[in-house]
Structure 1
Amino acid sequence: MKQTKKLYDLDAYAIEFDAAVLSCEEVQLDQQVIYQVILDQTLFFPEEGGQSPDKGTIQDIPVINVQIQDDVIVHTLEAPLQVGEKVHGCIDWKHRFSNMQQHSGEHIFSGLVNKKFGYDNVGFHLSDQIVTMDFNGVLTAEEAADIEYAANEMILKNIPVQVTFPSKEELSDLNYRSKIEIDGQVRIVTIAGVDVCACCAPHVRRTGEIMMLKILNMQNYKGGVRISILCGFRALEEYRQKTVILSELTSSLSANQDSLVEAVTKLKNVNQSLKTEVAVAKQELMEAKLEAVPKDQVNVYLFEDNLDAQVMRNAVNQLVTEHSGICGIFTGDDEEGYRFNIGSRTEDARSIATILREKLGAKGGGSAAMVQGSVIAKKEMILALIS
């Protein structure tokens, strides 16, 4: 198949294009019929270089995926096109420009990291939600913040972003970043004074169009660091969402922004203290209920509300030392079902678990001494089977 002409290389800002259909293959995928279409030329950037593909339509048919193999670009559509017909395509400009902002911002950040620390970007992922970069060296939070600030300074300078296709001779004299060995023509994206990198994706014309760059998260990863960023309108939307959350929290806790962490920490400590008090009270109440069980009772089954696993286990352990049969604690209700711990020092507790599993579809397991699990059934049904 003839290589697809990449119109996005000629003009990353073009939105509409015309093309001829070279092939259309019907494919069955996950019980759905889709159509894989190859055009003589396209504006649709495929999934490549760690970046998600463009979105849009061809002949008003949604394009649900775009892939590339051996320089042939395949568009996945929901309906077929006629081979040989002329078609009109339109990309989703908002999605395309957002990806351009993210990718150009990543080049600035990675270029600055490489210049200052010598680390390479060895992993890059640009999805519709996040941008991640993996560097083969560790950055401190302070160092990453410095790079973030410098990146925004470069955005503010509105530096031209140049795309070139150097010859092999020119390429041999060029110092550029590249994560992989590239066969054939190499496409170079240059941001003067910041970065020179081999890249196949569309980029903004000038750095000012990136608007802003913000680090969202960083973590140690495979001996280096993984940094997540957002740029442009995505960063603005992220800031808007966090502002709404911050406003709701400050209002709920009657605290201003500066004292919010202190207020949350105080609330967390109070909550933990109350949890401890409730746990102690539940344990004491459970012990009182256990004491009320007649000592000569052989089998004991108790149904309680909202017990945690440790209280249940402790209760069963106490019961089996005082009663010779099978003892169990069930916690929950008839609507949502019950969790259970069942034990015995003289019989095989698994026999009860087997009955609950076979008759009521219970889940769980354990040893002869104790089993635990869950069951969706009413209390009366459970007692009728095990009593």
Structure 2
Amino acid sequence: MKRVKSASTAVITSFLSRITFCKTIGNLFFLIPSEMAFHCQRDCYATELLTEVVSCSPGNLKTECGGKKEVMCGFNVLLKDTVLFPEGGGQPDDRGFINEIPVLRITRLGPDAVHFISTPLEIGAQVLVKVDWERRFDHMQQHSGQHLVTAIADSLYGYKTTSWELGRQRSFIELDTPVVTVEQIDVIEKLVNQKIRERVPVVVRLITTDDPEFDMVRSRGLPDDHAGPVRIIDIQGVDANMCCGTHVSNLSDLQMIKILGTEKGKKNKTNLFFLAGERVLKFAARSFIVEKSLTSLLKNGPEEHIEAVEKLQKSVKVLQKNNLTLLRDLAVLTAQTFKSSADRDKLFTLHRKDGDNEFMNIVANELGTEDILVFLTVGDEKASGLFLLSGAADVVEQLGPRVSELLDGKGAGKKGRFQGKANKMSQRGNVEILLREYINKKKEE
């Protein structure tokens, strides 16, 4: 049996669990709520923590797998403290384990961090929480890198960062300017990497909202449910910014920053893309693999890759144009051959793997007689493709939907022509049987 705490006990326990450390300002002694500083925020380099389960209740997690949305049933766990960072400040949440049970999501709910897991835990139990350090350190590098790039872009050119995104492979900041020149990008990149080489310390400080410094530090505003002291990330001599995220303690841990370039953003703004730390090394490794593969395929050196690809693209366009011309000629010839046949049938069927809609329509136009039922298909014989049925308007209107159904397709028609997409081209034989039976029945009538 798992113990269930009363509402009043849970409230008291939750409050006490958030009183985690103290700070002296002048002669005043403050208790600092952990809503402003989970263990992961007080020590961003901590990889594990022994703590206690405060509550555990059934919960759901919305996920997406292969483009399909799913709902996973599990449990929402509150801990006395946590080494796992809930999403916030533009930084995604951590991943990790509670007693070797994978933590699938961590979200902030008011002052608490909610850990979603698949297995229930006993309230009051001591648990060991571990963080996925590779993911955490990557987020620390990108987040601190964002603060640095933002500060330098602002100090050099007055470009304010209005938002940012920590992506899986690359991150970007949205700058409040319509254009950032290549020369400006080079200057920003050189200066941020100079600060990294100077090993500038990054210090976490706490201030109150009535502190004179509060109105001086960079910020996009506090959350509506904020309470207690304000956490400041201070890149000494460079930037001071309100932030709840996890950060490196020294810019040297960023290793390096590479600005990839810019794209036009929303509302006359510019998105500046960058990589920090290990992502730069991974990008360089991927780029080398691509370069090596292109060198092998194109049979020339890296400096000639662009020119070689441009030549190939031109050649492909010429071949595609020639191929279309040949297909048109073939469509006309095919139709004329059938029409010139002395014993031509009332049913004309044709499948061509390399055809297209234009090919089918040319054949149908060339045949152009209502006394012939035309069934054409193009694409993979056993998978998906396109189909066209033409003939007398009343006949096509009657048979078109049935043809589409047999081919597991979708289509529409008017004026004696019904065409669309087929998902089961392997059923075209059954369509021919349907059409043949219809023609034979009309002959008997």
Q: Output the TM-score relative to the length of structure 1.
A: 0.91
Matched, 1:16 2:48: yes
1:283 aligns with 2:323: no
Whether the aligned pair in 1 keeps the contact of 2:59 and 2:73 (CA below 8 Å) is yes
Matches within 5 A, 1:63-78: 63-78=103-118
Tell me which residue corresponds to 1:314: 362
Aligned to 1:303: 351
What is the letter of the counterpart of residue 52 of structure 2? Answer: A
Structure 2 CA distance for aligned equivalents of residues 150 and 353 of structure 1: 68
Q: Which of 151, 154, 175 is equivalent to 1:111?
A: 151
Selected match of 2:222 from 148, 171, 181: 181
**Residue aligning to 2:65:** none
Cα RMSD over matched residues?
2.3
**Which residue in 2 is equivalent to 1:384?**
433
> Which stretches in structure 2 are left out of the alignment for 5+ residues?
1-10, 19-33, 62-69, 437-445
Q: For structure 1, list consecutive stretches of 5 or more residues without a partner in the other structure.
A: none
Distance in structure 1 (CA, Å) of the matches to 2:272 and 2:81: 35
Residues paired across the two proteins, number: 386
1:56-96 deviation line (CA, Å, top 9, x unaligned)? 11111111111112111111112111101111111122211
Match of 1:52 among 92, 96, 108: 92
Q: Which amino acid aligns with 1:301?
A: T
The 2-side partners of 1:136 and 1:342 are apart by 56
Which amino acid in 2 is paired with 1:53? D
Q: Is the 8 A contact 1:213 1:235 kept in 2?
A: yes
**Aligned equivalents of 1:97, 1:361: Cα separation in 2:** 50
**CA distance in structure 2 between the aligned counterparts of 1:313 and 1:279, rounded to whole angstroms:** 13
1:99 aligns with 2:131: no
Q: Cα offset for 1:333?
A: 4.4
Instruction: Report the Cα distance in structure 1 between the residues aligned to 2:83 and 2:410, rounded to whole angstroms.
Output: 54
Conserved 8 A contact 1:334-1:378: no
Which stretch of the first structure deviates more once superposed, 131-140 or 15-24? 131-140
**CA displacement at 1:323 relative to structure 2:** 5.1
Cα distance in 1 between the residues matched to 2:338 and 2:238:
78
The 1:278/1:59 distance shift into structure 2, 3 A limit, reads same
Q: Distance in 2 between matches of 1:362 and 1:384?
A: 18
Matched, 1:122 2:162: yes
User: For 1:386, what is the secondary structure of its paired residue?
Assistant: helix
- Which deviates more from structure 2 when the two are superposed, residues 254-263 or residues 130-139? 130-139
Q: Counterpart of 1:284 in 2: which secondary structure?
A: helix
Partner of 1:133: 173
Give the whole-Å Cα distance in 2 for the aligned partners of 1:228 and 1:315: 51
On the 8 A contact 1:17/1:89 being kept in 2, the answer is: yes
Offset at residue 246 of structure 1 (A):
0.8
1:161-176 mapped onto 2 (5 Å cutoff): 161-172=202-213, 174-176=215-217
Contact 1:46 1:53 in 2 (8 A): yes
Deviation per residue, 1:315-353 (Å, 9 max, x gap) = 323332x55444342113431244112334654634332
2:119 to 52, 62, 79: 79
Deviations 1:279-317 (A, max 9, x none): 211221222111101267655332222112223233323
1:44 shift after superposition: 1.0
Q: Distance in 2 between matches of 1:174 and 1:153?
A: 29
Conserved 8 A contact 2:407-2:428 = no
Q: Distance in 2 between matches of 1:104 and 1:275?
A: 50
**Cα distance in 1 for residues equivalent to 2:258 and 2:115:** 33
Equivalent position of 1:271 in the other structure: 316
Q: 1:239: how far off?
A: 1.5
Matched, 1:7 2:56: no
Segment of structure 1 superposing worse, 222-231 or 68-77: 222-231
Deviates more, 1:38-47 or 1:140-149: 140-149
SS of 2:113's equivalent in the other structure is strand
**Correspondent of 1:261 among 268, 286, 306:** 306
SS of 2:262 mapped into structure 1: strand
Say whether the 8 Å CA contact 1:215–1:227 is kept in structure 2.
yes
CA distance change for structure 1 residues 256 and 228 in 2, over 3 Å: closer, same or farther?
A: same
Cross-structure match for 2:199: 158
CA distance in 2, matches of 1:144, 1:371: 56
Letter matched to residue 283 of structure 2: E
The aligned residue for residue 294 of structure 1 is 339
Q: Residue 290 of structure 2 aligns with which residue?
A: 245
The Cα of 1:163 is off from its aligned counterpart by 1.3
C-alpha separation between the residues in 2 aligned to 1:366 and 1:171? 73
Cα deviation code 1:26-71 (max 9, x no counterpart): 2255564311110111111101122111111111111111111211
Q: Residue 293 of structure 1 aligns to a residue in which SS? A: helix
TM-score (norm 2): 0.80
The alpha-carbon distance between structure 1 residues 357 and 58, as it changes in their structure 2 partners (threshold 3 A), is same
Q: Secondary structure at the match of 1:373?
A: strand
Q: How much identity, in percent, do the aligned residues show? A: 26
Question: For the structure 1 residues 203 and 262, does the alpha-carbon distance in structure 2 shift closer, same or farther, using more than 3 Å as the test?
Answer: same
